Structure 1
Amino acid sequence: MNRDDLIDLNAFVAVAEEGSFTRAATRLGTSQPALSNTLRRLEARLGVRLLTRTTRSVTLTPAGEEFLQGLKPAFDAIDLSLGAIGSLRKSPKGKIRITAPRHAAVSLLWPMLGSFVKDYPDIEVDVNIDAAARDLAGDRFDAGIRLGELVAQNMVAVRIGPDLRLAIVASPGYVAQHGVPATPHDLVQHSCINFRLPASGEFYAWQFKREEQDVKVRVSGQLSFNDPDMILAAALDGHGIACLIEDHAQAMIRDGRLVRFLEDWCPLFPGYHIYYQTQKNNSAAFRILIDRLRFRSRQSERKPPQ
């Protein structure tokens, strides 16, 4: 296989994974017309159509699907080899792509990244803010950040933050007009601000526990959001009761802009973990990033079963 063959095959894999000539061209650092010509040249040389092109999308033909499945193990092996040789450099180099919800990115990832990129100028970090769980392999992420209880069992999960707790809050104005619920069951009599789960599109069921009693409540109200910042803003404006991660609302609780209740029904739960596939991440750059993020006072790492 000559150099041009490798370039053409890499171009095909990029288009197949991105589902777009524009995104693939950006990823490869080339132009869309040049990339399109490369793919036409590859199809002509192979004598088979690999892609179906429309004005809005690019999809794989059955032959293209089969071709991609054959190529991916080889390109994954190349990635592993590049990571291994990169680990021998005195100054680690590489690009790391991470997907994380906004709260984790702001509270845990960003405080570390400022010093990290100064210490390792040859390492690039690409952070995608997304509350929904992403397919790491399919979307070409090196790692993701999620709450510990949400990480799939087949992933390596490294704790990067402390245990968390929910806070049930409302503005003083709402409390003065409507009172506060004495138990979680009383929430159904109140106007609550719903959180729509990004992955499923369903409303989050508020979960409580006290001693051995578990309670799950489906709340209702005029407003719902898929973003905690909007829920916080609505609660501050007196539109209802909100369920938020404690530290997200802590400053407003402390200065009296929010009133907290049902605190004894909100136990601790596992905090954020960074997760990844063992076979995909052995570069020195990635290992250094994980070590920087690792939660020091309560280290926890889960490996998939052998």
Structure 2
Amino acid sequence: MLDNLYELRAFLTVAQAGSFTKAAAQLGVSASALSHSIRKLEEQLDIKLFNRTTRSIATTDAGEQLFHHLQPLFESIEHNVNALSEFRNTLKGRLRINGNDHAFAFVLWDKLIAFSRQYPEVELELVSETKFVDIVAGRFDAGIRLGADVAQDMIAVRLSDKMQMAVVATPDYLADHGTPKNVDDLKQHNCLLIRLQSTDSIMQWEFRPNPKSQQPIRFQPRGRLTFNNSHLITRAVKDGQGLAWLPIDSVQAELERGELVEVLNKYAISYDGYHLYYPNRRQNSPLFKALVEALRV
């Protein structure tokens, strides 16, 4: 019989992080103390759970089996403990949400801040990435993506209306380089690029040739500056470095002040809005229900 559950929690954290250093930081202990706990667990079970080298750590077959069996059990314990907060007329717990910069900063920010103020004992961790992640394997409670990108086996709740894209530049840039009249004209311009984390490729720009068209025009932009997030692209376009393809609401204030100008607006494309998605085991948690109600349209 195990003395306590700490070693099992430590095991789950190390297996998920793939590193003693990262896991120790999450647990608030030293790497050596964490390594000692894992050794103790392996001795109790008389089974090797990790293959260790000087540079990496990975679960053995036995460790992988234990991880997949224990993870949902610990999540269930955590959710049931958090559910007791309803008897205190408040909510308490921790929520990890995966999304992207635009969703967090421009679509959901006010709602997330209002939720945080309403439930001051709830810890929110917002992880912004451009790549698609497995929210279950990544131990996220939920993810936020455009509707078309949500996996079919997930429950999805709409969070926003359609997202409209826009090609923008400064008036000075357009005065110096000309204003593109059609998509093909973009070949003559310096486009500000974003590299996708998931594929390591440059993101294509998409346009709608006419309102009734179902098939978008895909354009492969070229330029001298490449970024991995939209914040830096916004900064670069405001500094007159080229044309940027961005969600229009992320530059709405600059457009209204005349700092930026939209071009090719007759070709602008819209995408299905953002959705919160999550596995069905999350839906019965009072804390998670409160989050869904706070964010949904």
Q: What code does the residue aligned with 2:127 have? A: N
Matches within 5 A, 1:283-294: 283-294=285-296
One of 237, 240, 249 as aligned partner of 1:238: 240
Match of 1:303 in 2: none
- Computed over aligned residues only, the root mean square deviation of the Cα atoms, in angstroms, reads 2.1
Taking the aligned partners of 2:100 and 2:41, their CA distance within structure 1 comes to: 39
Query: Are 1:200 and 2:199 counterparts?
Result: yes
Distance 1:92 1:41, change over 3 A: same
What is aligned with 1:215?
Answer: 217
- Opposite residue 220 of structure 1, the aligned amino acid is R
- Contact 1:167-1:249 at 8 Å conserved across structures: no
Deviation at 1:288, TM superposition (A): 0.6
- The CA distance in 2 between the partners of 1:114 and 1:236, in whole Å, is 27
Hey, what does 1:56 align to over in structure 2? 55
CA deviations on 1:203-223 (whole Å, 9 max, x unpaired) are: 111111113443111121111
For 1:276, the equivalent position in structure 2 comes to 278
Q: Note if 1:189 corresponds to 2:200.
A: no
TM-score by length of 2: 0.90
Partner Cα separation in structure 2 for residue 123 and residue 77 of structure 1 = 17
- Give 1:95-174 correspondences, 5 Å limit: 95-174=94-173
Q: Deviations over 1:66-103 (max 9, x none)?
A: 33234334334434544555555532221111122112
Task: Note the alpha carbon deviations across 1:139-173, whole angstroms, 9 max, x for none.
Answer: 11101112222222221221222222111112222
Amino acid at match of 1:173: D
3-state SS of 1:165 partner: strand
Separation in structure 1 between the aligned mates of residue 110 and residue 145 of structure 2, nearest angstrom: 17
Match of 1:180 in 2: 179
Cα offset for 1:230?
A: 1.6
**Equivalence for 1:11:** 10
Could you tell me which of 222, 228, 231 is aligned with 1:229? 231
SS in 1 for 2:95: strand
**CA offset at residue 227 of structure 1?**
1.4
Alignment of 1:243-282 (within 5 A): 243-282=245-284
Once the two structures are TM-superposed, the CA of residue 287 in structure 1 deviates from its matched residue by 0.8
Cα distance change, pair 30–123 in 1 and its aligned pair in 2 (3 A): same
CA contact (8 A) 2:94 2:123 kept: yes
Instruction: Determine the structure 2 residue equivalent to 1:300.
Output: none
User: What secondary structure, in the 3-state scheme, does the structure 2 residue paired with 1:162 have?
Assistant: coil
| Superposition deviation, residue 40 in structure 1 | 0.8
Given that residues 80 and 282 in structure 1 are in contact (C-alpha distance below 8 angstroms), is that contact kept between their aligned partners in structure 2? no
Supply the AA of the counterpart residue of 1:144. Answer: G
Alpha-carbon spacing, 1:51–1:97, altered in 2? closer, same or farther (3 Å): same
Q: Contact (CA 8 Å) 1:25, 1:35: kept in 2 or not?
A: yes
* Alpha-carbon distance change, 223 to 13 in structure 1, aligned in 2, over 3 angstroms: same
Question: In the TM superposition, what is the alpha-carbon distance from 1:281 to its structure 2 partner?
Answer: 4.0
**Matched-pair identity in %:** 40
Say if 1:233 and 1:80 are closer, same or farther in 2 by CA, change over 3 A. Answer: closer
Q: Distance in 2 between matches of 1:171 and 1:119?
A: 40
CA distance in 1, matches of 2:189, 2:264: 14
Q: TM-score, normalised by structure 1?
A: 0.87
Task: Figure out how many residues of one structure are paired with residues of the other and give that number.
Answer: 294
2:211 alignment partner AA? E
1:234 is aligned with what amino acid?
A
Of the structure 1 ranges 203-212 and 71-80, higher mean CA displacement relative to structure 2 is found in 71-80
